[in-house]
């Protein structure tokens, strides 16, 4: 009887030790493997694990838009295009740029991580190019890759700058254009009138001189 009680106590003590060790291990690992949508876990370089919120399903970007450089951009030596992707969940996305069909990495600055806005995420990326590149006939494409947990899909937005478009900052309004045209016509008419008056004056002077020489000859 005594031996049975002793064995039961040892068994209980062993179970308590195991439970305590398991709890300590759980408390130790919790800061490193906490996987919820607000605090995803990272396993080494480039590996990210996110557990979806209850009742939520992945949703790809609703919009991918590319905005042309601002007319108020201070620098005259560069033009910055902005790409904004929004309405996706979770935040497993990456952004890339193309000019025509050529991949571009130089001059690209993308948010370090997607920003949460309500129930969904948004991310922005910027592409800086020279004015010559922007004002040429090129197509600028922003592509967002979205991973839904099993497959990666791609969503793009683009903007095309036509070569014959008037550069930003030199646009002419209709009234201003008409005013310049009328001023040019008026200046031309005044120039013609002055030329006629000047020609008549020269002819008159020449006629007077010729008449004077003829009188002296007589």
In a domain, 199, yes or no: no
218 in a domain, yes or no? no
Domain that holds residue 66: 60-161
In a domain, residue 172? The reply is no
Residue 204 is predicted with a pLDDT of: 81
Q: Which residues are registered as beta bridge partners of 81?
A: 127
Distances (CA, A) of 81 to 12, 44, 129: 68, 33, 8
Residue 17 lies in a domain: no
pLDDT of amino acid 93: 96
pTM of the shown model:
0.55
Residue 144's pLDDT is: 98
Residue 183 resides in a domain: no
Q: Which two tokens stand for residue 117?
A: 């806005």
pLDDT at 69: 92
Is 208 inside a domain boundary? no
Instruction: Indicate whether 213 belongs to any domain.
Output: no
pLDDT for position 104:
97
Question: What CATH number should be reported for the domain holding residue 104?
Answer: 2.60.40.10
Residue 3 lies in a domain: no
Name every residue whose Cβ is closer than 8 Å to that of residue 49 and which is 6 or more positions away in sequence.
Answer: 35, 40, 41, 42, 43
Tell me the mean pLDDT per 10 residues along the chain, length 218.
49 50 38 41 54 88 94 83 96 96 96 94 97 92 95 96 54 51 67 78 79 67
Task: Say how many domains are in the chain.
Answer: 1
* pLDDT at site 161: 80
């Amino acid at each position: 009887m005594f031996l049975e009680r002793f064995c039961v106590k040892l068994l209980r003590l062993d179970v308590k030790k195991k439970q305590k060790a398991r709890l300590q291990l759980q408390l130790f690992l919790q800061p490193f493997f906490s996987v919820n949508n607000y605090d995803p876990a990272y396993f080494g370089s480039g590996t990210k694990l996110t557990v979806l919120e209850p009742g939520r399903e992945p949703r790809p970007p609703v919009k991918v838009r590319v905005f042309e450089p601002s007319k108020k951009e201070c620098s005259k030596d560069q033009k910055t295009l902005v790409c904004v992707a929004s309405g996706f969940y979770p935040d497993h996305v990456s952004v890339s740029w193309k000019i025509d069909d050529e991949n571009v990495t130089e001059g690209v600055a993308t948010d370090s991580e997607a920003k949460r806005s309500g129930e969904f995420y948004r991310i922005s990326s910027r592409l800086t190019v020279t004015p010559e590149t922007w004002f040429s006939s090129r197509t600028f494409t922003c592509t967002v890759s979205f991973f839904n947990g099993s497959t990666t899909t791609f969503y793009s937005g683009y903007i095309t700058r036509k070569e014959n478009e008037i550069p930003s900052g030199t646009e002419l309004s209709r009234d201003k254009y008409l005013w310049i045209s009328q001023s040019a016509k008026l200046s031309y008419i005044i120039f013609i009138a002055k030329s006629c008056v000047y020609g008549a004056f020269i002819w008159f002077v020449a006629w007077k001189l010729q008449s004077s020489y003829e009188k002296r000859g007589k």
